[in-house]
Amino acid sequence: MLFSLQNKSVIITGGASGIGLAITKLFAKQGATVHIFELNYSLAQEEASKIDKESGKVVAHEVDISKQSKVKEAVAAIESTMPIDILVNNAGVAHIGNAENTLEGDFDRVISVNIKGAYNCMHSVIPYMKQRKKGVILNMASVAATVGIPDRFAYSMSKGAIITMTLSVAKDFIKDGIRCNCISPARVHTPFVDGYLAKNYPGKEKEMYDKLAATQPIGRMAEPNEIGYLALYLCSDEAGFITGCDYPIDGGFTRLNN
């Protein structure tokens, strides 16, 4: 089977909703044992239970990825039962605002989850991967890291950091058999988008959804499973020659918008 993850153990942060959930389902279907790191433990348990009945072993872990001690604890517990082959740093928080109106607390929260959370997970997993001389790390960046998007100051900053962290890790650990890449999606139709529209544009959700979808030259938003398919390829053995790359998956957003 192409892109098999049979007998692989995977950590997916934020793996119980949106893009993360799509990746969890797909990886489990391909034979992986998936460990979901979620702050919302009840949601993680609920999704893990549903997926496990259908397609594979999924384990929920209550982990605040912004706390290094908690991440190390969870990683060590998994490693005591099976080696971690793949880490997908997917968890993140969004923020709307520019450099003038972004509050310090909001800025700190974005850094704490989006940047420090990814660092904490890589910092905790890499020593085990080094020992085995193999491992795959996939980070979730965004087109916002490379294209100017209005009112996304803190979020764009955090995703720019993800791209440079990816390059650094790929360079530093290539001789240890560790591959590290990242994905940069444009707008993806997730529950977050629906919630954002309902909160900010009550009664005009469809109109605003169509307007946001139209910013992609392809004429629509991505579906979460489309991001999942790219994640699967980059984490599979078939992508063994790929490291240190950022992959836009954006319906033409970064190159075709004029």
- Give residue-wise pLDDT tens across range 12-65: 999 999 999 999 999 999 999 999 999 999 999 999 999 987 767 999 999 999
CATH 3.40.50.720 is held by the domain 9-186+225-248: yes
Q: Where are the beta strands (DSSP E) in the chain?
A: 9-13, 33-38, 58-62, 86-89, 135-140, 178-185, 246-249
What's the confidence (pLDDT) of residue 9? 98
Reading the block at residue 204, the tokens are 């005009």
- Note the pTM of the prediction, 2 decimals: 0.95
What's the confidence (pLDDT) of residue 55? 67
Domain spans of the chain, in order of start: 9-186+225-248, 188-221
pLDDT band at 258 (very low <50, low <70, confident <90, very high): low
- Give residue-wise pLDDT tens across range 201-229: 999 999 999 999 999 999 999 999 999 99
Residues designated as active site: 155
Reading the block at residue 222, the tokens are 């991505």
- Give residue-wise pLDDT tens across range 131-171: 999 999 999 999 999 999 999 999 999 999 999 999 999 99
- Measure the CA dihedral 60/67/71/232, to 10°: 70
